[in-house]
Amino acid sequence: MITRLYIRNYGIIKEHEIRFNKGLTVITGETGAGKSIVLGAMGLLLGERADVGSLFDANEKCIVEGEYDMEAVELQTWLAEEGFDTTLPLLVRREIMPTGKSRAFINDSPAGIQQLKALSEWLMDISGQHESRELHTTRFQLDFIDEMSGLRDAAPLFREKYQQWQQLKGRLAALRQSEASRLQQLDLERFLCDELEQAGLKQADELGALEQQLEVQENALQIRQTLESVSFQLQEAEEAVILKLQQLSAQMNGFKELHPELGRLYEGLHNSQIELTELSRDSQRLVGSFEADPALLSEISNRVDLLNRLLSKHRVHDLGALLERWEALSASVALLEKSGSETEQLEKDIQALEKWLLKTGKDISDKRQQALPGIHKQMQALLPAVGLVHAQFKIEIEAHEQLIGPRQGLNSIRFLFTANQGSPAMELQKVASGGELSRIMLCLKSLLHGQVRLPSVVFDEIDTGISGETALQVGKVLRSLADKHQVILITHLPQIAAKGDMHLFISKKNEDGRTVSRVDVLDNEGRERAIAQMIAGDGAGETALRQAKELLHK
């Protein structure tokens, strides 16, 4: 339960601290005094959106702090898992800076908004004055049914799996939409990759070597003839060069001793003769190496043509780049093939998830159906207690073969109601008045809070649209609920205000030219005056005071 609420610089509250007790706390006061502002401050502690426009002084930060006395084992576990101090009482603080930035703390450690929202499940439930409008929404109706059916954990898990199923189906649809282009691209790149593989690319300098071999083959006959001519002219011709050198060398041999220069000339002639003899032999030897081979010429020519065609086809300038292109194509083909296997895996995952959803949806549907008799029985006991003596309330659940939605599962649902005896029950939103909706909401909330762990329940004008004896009956229901939970209630009805264990009166006054709200805890005499004022207005007299005392002592 909440034991203390500190508010500073929020709405028209400059600074105030409110201490709460167990049981039923009623909050009354004049219109615009700040009753809903107190609930707004509580909402901030539950992770609701912070608005810089709600600051009393736009130049100072707003602080809201709540102190909670609770010993839920699950809460202690959650605090420890999230890294927060588990010391009690639990302190939750929210700060709104003039810049609009918001900060949150749990037991003085920084916390995120999502952590506040998760924590709120253990703290309190705030029912706003307009919440009865949600009675006709599928979301509220299904959440109510699931809570009453013991599906607190199963229903959220089903919604999570359903969303995963939807996401996988969307992903599969996108993959299938691009499947044709994927296959077309795969065929093309696989063909190009196979073509390069069949080309047997090995070395980046292969083309240069082949072009050299091709040129040699193309000129083999001319090279051979030239080599034979060189050998013949050097050694075998009638005027062979080597023979002439021998003659000249022999002539110089007789003079080489006469002068050093003549010796050098002789040595040059002699050495040239030796070198040309070697050249002649080399030429003769090489003649056999340059045989024209039409088959080899054709093979090399075809290989060079193939490589040049591949270079041109892939728009690269050398075999090194072509080898890189081959590697890239191989990787792309592998990726495209994997995409195909991803489609197959997605189909399997979707089928498995759908099978789980159908089975779990059937289990959820069965539990919802099983819970209906108990809900109907309890509601029929509560409705007369809030003045709906002849009312009938019924929930219809229709089971389907196929999945409908993340909340619905396999069910469509309708809340049916009639306030008149003998009239057929029709859809709630079509036949229930505003006051009837408020009372039905109170009954449903009473059932819900019998199921959940929340120690604190907050109602903001749940009594809208009722009066008289009906208000007395609603007060009894709230009084009964307060025996199990801390109930905090904003009300305008004296019959309900009189049921409170604690009475907070919110008023406003002018302070330095501004309207400021204040909160007072009323004693017995103060309660009598406040309730008398609710009965007869500002001019309440002895009659109203007597009526107030009677209400307080009922």
User: 209 with 125, same domain?
Assistant: no
Note whether 118 and 226 are same-domain residues.
no
Could you tell me the pTM of the whole model?
A: 0.62
313 part of a folded domain: yes
Q: Is a pLDDT exceeding 70 seen at residue 437?
A: yes
Asked if pLDDT for residue 122 goes beyond 70, the answer is yes
Q: How far apart are CA 301 and CA 513, in angstroms?
A: 102
Query: Is the CA virtual torsion 80, 84, 85, 91 positive or negative?
Result: negative
Q: Is residue 351 assigned to a domain?
A: no
Beta strands 486-490; 24-29: pairing state = parallel
The confidence score (pLDDT) of residue 461 equals 75
**pLDDT band with cut points at 50, 70 and 90 for residue 358:** very high
How far apart, in whole angstroms, are the C-alpha atoms of residue 59 and residue 97?
Answer: 9
Mean pLDDT of the chain: 86
CA–CA separation, 226 and 208 (whole Å): 25
DSSP designation for 134: G
How far is the first Cα of the chain from the last one, in angstroms, to the nearest whole number?
Answer: 27
Pairing of strands 456-460, 486-490: parallel
Q: Among the three residues 268, 294, 317, which one is the final residue of a domain in this structure? A: 317
Q: Is residue 81 part of a domain?
A: yes
What whole-number distance in Å separates Cα of residue 68 and Cα of residue 307? 81
> Is residue 393 one of the residues assigned to a domain?
no
d(CA 458, CA 460): 7
Contact 85, 107 (CB under 8 A): yes
- 214 & 124 share domain: no
Indicate if 105 and 6 belong to the same structural domain: yes
How many angstroms from the chain centroid is the CA of residue 475? 44
CB 18 within 8 A of CB 8: no
Among the candidates 317, 338, 371, a domain finishes at 317
- Residue 197 within any structural domain of the chain: no
Q: Could you tell me whether strands 2-10 and 514-521 are parallel, antiparallel, or unpaired per DSSP bridges?
A: unpaired
Q: Is the CB of residue 522 less than 8 Å from the CB of residue 505?
A: yes
**Tell me, what CATH number does 88's domain have?**
3.40.50.300
Q: What is the pLDDT of residue 180?
A: 65
Question: Which tokens belong to 261?
Answer: 């220069």
pLDDT digits (tens, 9 = 90+) for 46-87: 999 888 888 988 899 999 999 998 877 788 888 999 999 988
Measured CA angle at 534 (ends 66, 502), to 5 deg: 35
**Residue whose token pair is 């039923």:** 24
Q: pLDDT tier at 130 (50, 70, 90 boundaries)?
A: low
Residue 278 φ/ψ, nearest 5 degrees: -65, -40
Q: Same structural domain for residues 120 and 14?
A: yes
Separation between Cα atoms, residue 505 and residue 539, nearest integer Å: 18
Host domain of residue 309: 205-317
Same domain, 124 and 244: no
Both 32 and 119 in one domain: the answer is yes
Q: How many domains does the chain have?
A: 2
93 inside domain: yes
Q: Look up residue 411 and give its two tokens.
A: 């069910």
